[in-house]
Amino acid sequence: ESWFHVTVHPAQTGIAVHFRDVTREVSEQRDLRLFRTAIDAMTTGAVMLERGEGAIDFWPIMYANAAAIKLQDQDEQQLLGKTLNEVMQETDCTPDIGHVRETLAAQRLCHFEARHHRSGRPEILECVAVPLAGQDDEHGHAVVLINDVTEQRRIIEERQRSERLALVGQMAGGVSHDFNNLLAVILGNVELLELTTDPQEAKILISEARDAVMRGKSLNDSLLAFAGKSKLTPQTADLGRFVQAWA
């Protein structure tokens, strides 16, 4: 398929017709329209910055796809022409914008996370800034890809919370079982003490009950340490001897 730009104008002997092959230009324009349609259909936000004066965060936005416009809660005309610095006001970046600036200046892509509030709702955005080479082999443009991961992070945090609760439930069941065993020893020995008249046997029963109480205290101390309610004193230990003692 070929396309020509045809120009017709009068001449002394009639008319002159000029043909110029514009097939490549038409093809490039069509590809550009298709590319823009594809970019606009993406759920990932895409913002292109045009090289300006100063650092990259002061470069103006020359293009933003539909997803990026939606994330900023502005229409296209409001967003275009603004700098990255203006868009990211009241936004916490990890790492900070200075790191992003230095990484792009070193001609490397940069991953960073932005946290801000929109309509009173906190949002977490995962961003990738990509430098693009210009005709002078310098980075004349940069593209920032933006993904809203707020809901994804919320789901992960809820799953982690559920896993922690399940772990605490399992631990509570194990601790309850251990305490019941200790209480059974204490109660059994107390009942036997009521029946015995032998001083030696009574002494043994009291000793066993005392041991059960001390094991209960040790178990309680472990629970307090796990909950961060007690002060721990780190000590150097021989791991080999510890393993042998339990072998």
Structural domain span for residue 40: 31-148
For every one of its 247 residues, what pLDDT tens digit does the chain have, with 9 covering 90 and above? 788 888 888 887 888 888 888 888 888 888 878 877 888 888 898 888 887 777 777 888 888 888 888 887 777 788 888 887 787 776 788 888 788 878 877 778 888 888 877 666 788 889 898 888 655 545 578 888 989 898 998 999 999 999 888 887 888 888 888 888 888 988 898 888 888 888 898 898 889 889 988 888 888 887 777 776 666 677 787 878 777 776 6
What CATH number did the domain enclosing 100 receive?
3.30.450.20
Comparing CA positions, the residue from 162, 245, 181 lying closest to residue 219 is: 181
Comparing CA positions, the residue from 39, 46, 31 lying closest to residue 141 is: 46
What CATH number did the domain enclosing 196 receive?
1.10.287.130
Residues 179 and 140 in one domain: no
* Dist CA 99 CA 174 (whole Å): 48
Residues 132 and 163 in one domain: no
Q: Please list, in sequence order, all residues whose beta carbon lies within 8 angstroms of the beta carbon of residue 224, skipping any fewer than 6 positions away.
A: 230
Q: Where are the beta strands (DSSP E) in the chain?
A: 4-11, 14-21, 45-50, 61-64, 92-94, 110-118, 121-133, 139-148
Encoded tokens for 245: 């003692």
Residues 53 and 138 in one domain: yes
Encoded tokens for 142: 């940069």
Number of domains in the chain: 2
Q: Evaluate if pTM is beyond 0.85.
A: no
Residues 167 and 103 in one domain: no
The answer to whether residue 11 sits within a structural domain is: no
Residues 142 and 190 in one domain: no
Domain final position from 80, 114, 148: 148
The answer to whether residue 20 sits within a structural domain is: no
- What are 144's strand-pairing partners? 47, 129
Residues 80 and 186 in one domain: no
